[in-house]
Amino acid sequence: MEALSPTMEEGRVVEWLKHEGDAVVAGDVLAEVETDKAVMELQARGDGVLRKVLAPSGSTVEVGKLVAVIAGPDEDIAALIGGAAVPPRPATPPPAGPTASPPPTTQPMAPVAAGARHLKASPLARRLAGERGIELGSVAGSGPGGRVIRRDIDTLAAAPAPGVAVRGGGAAASAASFEDVPLTQIRKTIARRLAESLGPVPHFFLTTDVDMDRAWDAREALNGLGEEPRVSFNDLIVKVVATALTRHRECNAWWQGDAIRYFNDVHLGMAVAVDQGLITPVIRHADRKTLRQIATESRNLVERARARKLKPEEYTGATFSISNLGMFGIDEFTAIINPPESGIIACGAITQQPVVREGMLVVGRRMRLTMSCDHRVIDGATGARFLGTVRRMLENPLAMVW
Amino acid sequence: MPTLTYRDALNHALREEMERDPDVFLMGEEVGVYQGAYKVSRGLLQQFGERRVMDTPIAELGFAGIGVGAAMVGLRPVIEFMTWNFALLAIDEVVNSAAKLRYMSNGQLSVPIVFRGPGGAALQLGAQHSQALESWYAHVPGLKVVAPATPYDAKGLLKSAIRDNNPVVFLEGEMLYNLKGEVPEGEYTIPLGQAEVKRVGKDVTVICHSKTVATAEKAAQQLAADHGVEAEVVDLRTLRPLDTEAILASVRKTNRCVIIEEGWPFCGIGAQVCDEIQHGAFDHLDAPVERVTGADVPMPYNRSLERAAKPSVDAVIRAVRRAAYLD
């Protein structure tokens, strides 16, 4: 099982496209594998015959474990599939697991095959993992270079190896008044990523009420031109936020621990609800794209997000994100920042409300924006100025071309 | 409890040991009539006379050699170097004679000598007068090397050094002489080879000696107040022999370590301490050991550059944060 995305730790084999006995060449798609975010292709890295499939469809396998063997048609592969010997490429020998004997000094440092992931862990973390029966390879490391450190072991709930207990095993629950649903890859990733956000990242929140009358009219006017694609409010918000970020570079930044990375380009992530979860596809260079391009691209990204067909480069690398729950009738909400970004804007629904205009009570369209800021990067005034620009542009969309 | 300066604590130690044992005598530049270049030997010539307090010409190798000879025939000399920078001129006597004669004579000869003086930087003394060379002496089998940080430690350790039958390199500091601290009135000594936990903590071990102990304590206060980190400060006190058990006990408790030293990084004291830790506490380390040292340059004369070349409280805080994965 290869690491098909930067954060992938295990994959679920969806379907084998090649079968035992098939001849394959390097580059052939062997199987479809569901990763933490999307369904990806597992390719053959060499030529030969697919002699043995070890991970049937539906099974979940850790990155680095053996899933199949490609060899010459008459080559002896008994040693590889026998399970006793340490197999050579493409698999790695298993990392220190719960069955290894406790004393940390005797745990073997398994040799790492080329192309597999080298496990970085502090000596203390290794020892604690061994003592607590935690498989080191299954722990996400928060240290430099993905090093597994003590706090990663401490915060991990004592759980058996992922490939075993997470899937299936719900039989006993049927008689009880609740049901334990095993975590899918996407839920696990959402849980881990956002738990890593709200804790360490010092959030504060800025809310503003936006007069959307002119934006409403502008959108109607654009869509009235009768051309495809139709522009949604979300597209407008993407364009406005991206443009505003070019004027407020201080908010277009990543927290890097010992520095703040200010980006010259704007890549905007849009939170999209997908089956069982949430993913944030990225519109790259959103500031330079026209509304039409943004509308087309966002439609395409959302469709592919829902079909779990996004590539890693399409959902990583955002410099800022937005999230919109207006279509669900939510007036306002506070979003959690996607680290290492330093801000996110949450949009509520556009509603007709009684408003005061020139001293008179009239009906106006309002939308609440709530910006979550990482206080290590963005201070109150800085965030307020940026949000002010966003509001001004939405209240007068022509300001974007100024 | 009375408060004494580091200088006066040393003065009292010398006085008490010279009163206690008539074989103890002091020799060095300006120790007598001038009352001591840094006034450490103030009043000693008046009290003990010329046979016990001897002014020398500017000839470090010469008077260090005389001291070694005196020790070999049974006296207990205290040789003062005006600074350890000048002692480089006498290092042959320290390393080739004092350190080795007992070994080379199969125990027939003994060199119960103390070489003492200020080491390390002061303020704008320049490259040749600011060196912290403790690791040069700690490198040599046959020597003991001591570096007290407080008046209390200075008095107790100097008394023990004088009573020790081995040659002892005793490193003081020009910037420490005015430091005030509580020193009890009665008789006390501090054993050589024993470190001391100056501040108890649980999150990180900060190992230091001499002037860097104050740096460590200031950093520990700021870390507790502003960064939520409780640092344990371990003052080595003796550099050779190292109190390895104290070092390891602390690191096993905190799982991470920062070592501070005034000297240059390459082959500095911290490098040895680091080796002891990686070997003795490997399975307890959650992060690589961090070192904060003097900059790897000859000490600049310019005031701002000199400040930048010395280990600072900020550098210690940054190192602690790295070791604790706080950034």
The confidence score (pLDDT) of residue A176 equals: 55
Catalytic residue numbers of B read: 60, 129
Residue A12 near residue A34, CB atoms below 8 Å: yes
**Which of B283, B284, B325 has the CB atom closest to A143's CB atom?**
B325
Q: Say if A206 falls within a structural domain.
A: yes
The answer to whether residues B169 and B246 belong to one domain is: no
Structure tokens at A34: 């569901």
Of B120, B123, B150, B153, give the one whose Cα is nearest residue B134.
Answer: B120
The answer to whether residues B209 and B125 belong to one domain is: no
**Tokens 């799982």 sit on residue:** B255
Spatial neighbors of A372 by CB under 8 A, at least 6 apart, are A203, A204, A205, A334, A335, A336, A337, A343, A344, A345, A346
Q: Give the CATH number, domain containing residue A24.
A: 2.40.50.100
The answer to whether residues B136 and B160 belong to one domain is: yes
Strand A48-53 to strand A68-71: parallel, antiparallel, or no bridges (unpaired)? antiparallel
The answer to whether residues A355 and A383 belong to one domain is: yes
For B198, the 3-state DSSP assignment is strand
N residues, chain B:
327
Q: Give the CATH number, domain containing residue B150.
A: 3.40.50.970
Of B200, B285, B274, B288, give the one whose Cα is nearest residue B244.
Answer: B274
| Strand (E) or helix (H) holding B172 | strand B168-172
Beta carbon pairs, A and B, within 8 Å: 30
The answer to whether residues A347 and A278 belong to one domain is: yes
Say how far apart CA B312 and CA B305 lie, in whole Å. 12
| DSSP letters spanning A310-351 | --HHHHS--SEEEEE-GGGT-----PPP-TTB-EEEEEEEEE
The answer to whether residues B167 and B136 belong to one domain is: yes
| DSSP letters spanning B222-249 | HHHHHS---EEEEE--EEES--HHHHHH
Say how far apart CA A211 and CA A246 lie, in whole Å. 22
Q: Say if B286 falls within a structural domain.
A: yes
Spatial neighbors of A288 by CB under 8 A, at least 6 apart, are none
| Strand (E) or helix (H) holding A373 | strand A360-374
For B5, the 3-state DSSP assignment is strand
Q: Does A149 contact B287 at a Cβ distance shorter than 8 Å? A: yes
Q: Say if A92 falls within a structural domain.
A: no
Say how far apart CA B222 and CA B236 lie, in whole Å. 22
Domain C-terminal end among A65, A82, A99: A82
The confidence score (pLDDT) of residue B82 equals: 98
* Nearest-Cα residue of chain B relative to residue A260: B327
| Strand (E) or helix (H) holding A128 | helix A123-132
Residue A137: domain span: 114-182
* Nearest-Cα residue of chain B relative to residue A152: B286
Residue B223 near residue B175, CB atoms below 8 Å: no
The answer to whether residues B254 and B297 belong to one domain is: yes
The total of other beta-carbon atoms located within 10 Å of residue B108's CB is: 9
β-bridge mates for residue A255, sequence order: A260
Q: Is the ipTM of this complex over 0.85?
A: no
The answer to whether residues A260 and A224 belong to one domain is: yes
The answer to whether residues B22 and B171 belong to one domain is: yes
Residue B246 near residue B234, CB atoms below 8 Å: yes
The answer to whether residues A286 and A161 belong to one domain is: no
Name which of B227, B256, B283, B289 to mutate to probe chain A: the one with the most chain A Cβ atoms within 10 A of its Cβ: B283
Q: Along the 327 residues of chain B, how does pLDDT read in single tens digits? A: 999 999 999 999 999 999 999 999 999 999 999 999 999 999 999 999 999 999 999 999 999 999 999 999 999 999 999 999 999 999 999 999 999 999 999 999 999 999 999 999 999 999 999 999 999 999 999 999 999 999 999 999 999 999 999 999 999 999 999 999 999 999 999 999 999 999 999 999 999 999 999 999 999 999 999 999 999 999 999 999 999 999 999 999 999 999 999 999 999 999 999 999 999 999 899 999 999 999 999 999 999 999 999 999 999 999 999 999 997
The confidence score (pLDDT) of residue B66 equals: 98
Q: Along the 402 residues of chain A, how does pLDDT read in single tens digits? A: 988 877 788 888 888 988 888 888 888 889 988 887 778 888 888 888 888 888 888 888 888 888 898 888 888 888 777 654 444 444 444 444 444 343 434 333 444 444 445 688 999 999 999 888 888 888 888 888 889 999 999 887 444 444 322 323 344 444 556 667 777 777 788 888 888 787 788 999 999 999 999 999 999 998 999 888 899 999 999 999 999 999 999 999 998 888 888 998 999 999 988 887 889 999 999 999 999 899 999 999 999 998 888 888 888 899 999 999 998 999 999 999 998 899 999 999 999 999 999 999 999 999 999 999 999 999 999 999 999 999 999 999 887 777
Residue B158: domain span: 3-182
The confidence score (pLDDT) of residue A98 equals: 42
Instruction: Measure CA A222 to chain center.
Output: 33
**Which of B286, B287, B327 has the CB atom closest to A257's CB atom?**
B327
Residue ranges in B73-211 assigned as alpha helix (H): 91-92, 101-104, 134-138, 151-163
The answer to whether residues B160 and B249 belong to one domain is: no
The confidence score (pLDDT) of residue A175 equals: 52
Q: How many domains does chain A have?
A: 3
B163 interface with A at CB cutoff 8 Å: no
- Cβ contacts of B284 on chain A, cutoff 8 Å: 123-124, 127
Q: Say if B306 falls within a structural domain.
A: yes
- Cβ contacts of B285 on chain A, cutoff 8 Å: 122-124
Q: Is A267 a catalytic residue?
A: no
The answer to whether residues A215 and A274 belong to one domain is: yes
Q: Say if A277 falls within a structural domain.
A: yes
Q: Give the CATH number, domain containing residue A226.
A: 3.30.559.10
Strand A277-279 to strand B238-240: parallel, antiparallel, or no bridges (unpaired)? unpaired
Dihedral of CA B298/B300/B304/B305: which sign?
A: negative
The answer to whether residues B136 and B16 belong to one domain is: yes
Say how far apart CA A198 and CA A265 lie, in whole Å. 26
Q: Say if B191 falls within a structural domain.
A: no
The answer to whether residues B319 and B278 belong to one domain is: yes
Q: Say if A150 falls within a structural domain.
A: yes
Q: Does B285 contact A122 at a Cβ distance shorter than 8 Å? A: yes
Q: Say if A310 falls within a structural domain.
A: yes
Interface residues of A toward B, Cβ cutoff 8 Å, are 104-105, 122-127, 142-143, 149-151, 257-258
The answer to whether residues B132 and B232 belong to one domain is: no
Say how far apart CA A20 and CA A51 lie, in whole Å. 5
B125 interface with A at CB cutoff 8 Å: no
Structure tokens at B65: 């050699």
B321 interface with A at CB cutoff 8 Å: no
B124 backbone dihedrals φ, ψ, rounded to 5°: 55, 45
The answer to whether residues B201 and B150 belong to one domain is: no
Domain C-terminal end among B182, B217, B245: B182
Distance from CA of A203 to the nearest CA of B (A): 16
- Cβ contacts of A105 on chain B, cutoff 8 Å: 283
The confidence score (pLDDT) of residue A74 equals: 82
The confidence score (pLDDT) of residue A162 equals: 43
Structure tokens at A374: 């990482």
Query: What is the edge-to-edge ordering of all strands in the sheet holding A68-71?
Result: A23-24, A48-53, A68-71
Q: Say if A1 falls within a structural domain.
A: no
**What does pTM read for this prediction?**
0.55
**Which of B284, B325, B327 has the CB atom closest to A124's CB atom?**
B284
- Cβ contacts of A127 on chain B, cutoff 8 Å: 283-284
The answer to whether residues A120 and A235 belong to one domain is: no
Domain C-terminal end among A82, A102, A124: A82
The total of other beta-carbon atoms located within 10 Å of residue B42's CB is: 17
The answer to whether residues B15 and B158 belong to one domain is: yes
Distance from CA of B204 to the nearest CA of A (A): 14
Name which of A124, A126, A148 to mutate to probe chain B: the one with the most chain B Cβ atoms within 10 A of its Cβ: A124
Distance from CA of A277 to the nearest CA of B (A): 30
**Which of A105, A123, A149 has the CB atom closest to B325's CB atom?**
A149
The confidence score (pLDDT) of residue A196 equals: 78
Domain C-terminal end among A143, A158, A182: A182
Q: How many domains does chain B have?
A: 2
Structure tokens at A22: 């098939």
The answer to whether residues A18 and A141 belong to one domain is: no
Cis-peptide into A111, omega within 30 deg: no
Q: Say if A240 falls within a structural domain.
A: yes
Residue A42 near residue A31, CB atoms below 8 Å: yes
Q: Say if A250 falls within a structural domain.
A: yes
Say how far apart CA A57 and CA A54 lie, in whole Å. 10
B187 interface with A at CB cutoff 8 Å: no
Say how far apart CA B155 and CA B9 lie, in whole Å. 5
Domain C-terminal end among B148, B182, B216: B182
The answer to whether residues A363 and A287 belong to one domain is: yes
Q: Does B283 contact A258 at a Cβ distance shorter than 8 Å? A: no
Taking the CA of residue B112 as centre, how many other CA atoms within 13 Å lie in the half-sphere pointing to its CB?
16
- Cβ contacts of A146 on chain B, cutoff 8 Å: none
